[in-house]
Structure 1
Amino acid sequence: MLNTAKEVIEYCKENKCHIYDLVLEEEVKNNRISKETMIDSLKKILEVMESSSHNTLNKSYETRFKMIDGFAKDFYAYQKEKEPLVGKFLVKAMAMAFSTSETNANMGKIAAAPTAGSAGIMPAALISLREKYNLDEEVLIKGLLTSIGIGQIIGKYATFAGAEGGCQAECGSASAMAAAACVEMLGGSPQEAFDAASITLINVMGLACDPIAGLVEYPCTFRNASGVINALISCDMALAGIKSLVPFDEVCLAMGEVGRLLDNSIRETGLGGLAGTKTGCKIRREFLNLKEEK
Structure 2
Amino acid sequence: MIYFTDELLKYCEENNTYLWEIVLEDELEVSNDSKEEIYKKLSEMIEVMKNSANTYLDKDSKTGFGLIDGYAKQANEYARKGNSFLGEKNVRTMAMAFSTLELSSSMGRIVASPTAGSSGIIPAVIARYRMEEPDVTDEKLIEALLTAVGVGKIIGRFANFSGAEGGCQAECGSAAAMASSALVYLKDGSLEESLNAASIAIVNILGLVCDPVAGLVEYPCTFRNASGAINAILSADLAMAGIKSLVPFEEVCQALNDVGESMSFRLKETALGGIAATRTGERIKKEFYEKHNE
User: Quick check: TM above 0.5?
Assistant: yes
What amino acid is aligned across from residue 40 of structure 2 in structure 1? D
Aligned sequence identity (%) = 50
Match of 1:224, as an amino acid? Answer: N
Greater Cα offset, 165-174 or 124-133: 124-133
1:176-195 maps to which residues of 2 (within 5 A)? 176-195=177-196
Deviating more after overlay: 56-65 vs 106-115: 56-65
Query: 1:60-71 alignment to 2 at 5 Å?
Result: 60-63=60-63, 65-71=65-71
Which AA in structure 1 matches 2:104?
A: N
SS of 2:86's equivalent? coil
TM-score, normalisation: structure 2: 0.96
Partner amino acid for 2:212? P
Q: Give, in whole Å, the separation in 2 of the partners of 1:58 and 1:217.
A: 20
Letter of the 1:208 partner, please give it: V
Aligned to 2:27: 27
How many Å separate the matches in 2 of 1:71 and 1:143? 28
Cα distance in 1 for residues equivalent to 2:140 and 2:124: 15
Specify the alignment match of 1:81 in structure 2.
Answer: 81
Q: Structure 1 stretches (4+) deviating beyond 3 angstroms? A: none
Deviations 1:80-109 (A, max 9, x none): 123211111111111100000000011000
Q: Matched residue of 1:289: which SS?
A: helix
Instruction: Report the equivalent of 1:127.
Output: 127
Return the letter of the residue paired with 2:169: Q
> Does the 8 Å contact 1:130/1:136 carry over to 2?
no
2:148 is the counterpart of 1:175 = no
Q: Residue 49 of structure 2 aligns with which residue?
A: 49
CA contact (8 A) 1:172 1:227 kept: yes
Q: Is the 8 A contact 2:64 2:106 kept in 1?
A: no
The correspondence of residues 248-267 of structure 1 with structure 2, limited to 5 A, is 248-267=249-268
TM-score norm. by structure 1 comes to 0.96
Cα RMSD for the two superposed structures = 1.1
Does residue 16 of the first structure (1) align with residue 2 of the second (2)? Answer: no
Distance in 1 separating the partners of 2:35 and 2:208:
37
Equivalent position amino acid for 1:14 in 2: E
Quote the offset at 1:65 in angstroms.
Answer: 4.4
Q: What are the ranges of 5 or more consecutive residues in structure 1 without an aligned counterpart?
A: none
Letter in 1 for 2:7: E
Matched pairs, number: 290
CA deviation string 1:238-263 (max 9, x = no partner)? 00000001000000000000001111
Q: Which amino acid aligns with 1:33?
A: D
CA distance in 2, matches of 1:137, 1:65: 36
Higher mean Cα deviation, 75-84 or 172-181?
75-84
Distance in 2 (alpha carbons) for counterparts of 1:69 and 1:249: 38
**What's the CA shift for 1:64?**
5.2
SS state of the match for residue 171, structure 1?
helix
